[in-house]
């Protein structure tokens, strides 16, 4: 059994060479919102859901990107509403949010 039922990684990388990066597209703020939302819903903790930042996931051109494990589903998350959709539909409902899929 996995330590967490779902692990959500937000790319928060900030490139300094002019290429697009998730960190320059508010990914840290969206990650913080997701952490608070998961906690408010009582979904955090061992055996439940963990939200983390990640270094470069090398998909910044499609970002800000998030990957959800164990399903290995990649999403583009642009807003708090997108975060809410991933939590409600994917994490709680077990269905991939196709409109956000990368």
Domain enclosing residue 47, as ranges: 6-100
Strand partners, 49: 6, 44
Q: Where are the beta strands (DSSP E) in the chain?
A: 6-11, 49-54, 65-69, 73-76
Task: Tell me whether residue 72 is in a domain.
Answer: yes
Is 0.95 topped by the overall pTM? no
CATH number for 11: 3.40.30.10
Strand order in the sheet with 73-76: 49-54, 6-11, 65-69, 73-76
How many structural domains comprise the chain? 1
Task: Tell me whether residue 1 is in a domain.
Answer: no
Reported as a single tens digit per residue, the pLDDT across 38-87 is: 999 999 999 999 999 998 888 878 889 999 999 999 999 999 999 999 99
């Amino acid at each position: 059994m996995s330590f967490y039922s779902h692990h959500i990684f937000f790319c928060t990388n900030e490139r300094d060479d002019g290429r697009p990066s998730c960190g320059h597209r508010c990914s840290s703020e969206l990650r913080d919102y997701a952490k608070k939302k998961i906690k408010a819903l009582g979904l955090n903790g061992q055996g439940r859901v963990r939200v983390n930042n990640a270094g470069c996931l090398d998909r910044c051109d499609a970002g800000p990107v998030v990957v959800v494990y164990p399903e290995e589903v990649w999403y583009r998350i642009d807003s708090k509403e997108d975060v809410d959709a991933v939590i409600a539909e994917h994490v709680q409902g077990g269905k991939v949010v196709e409109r956000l899929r990368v």
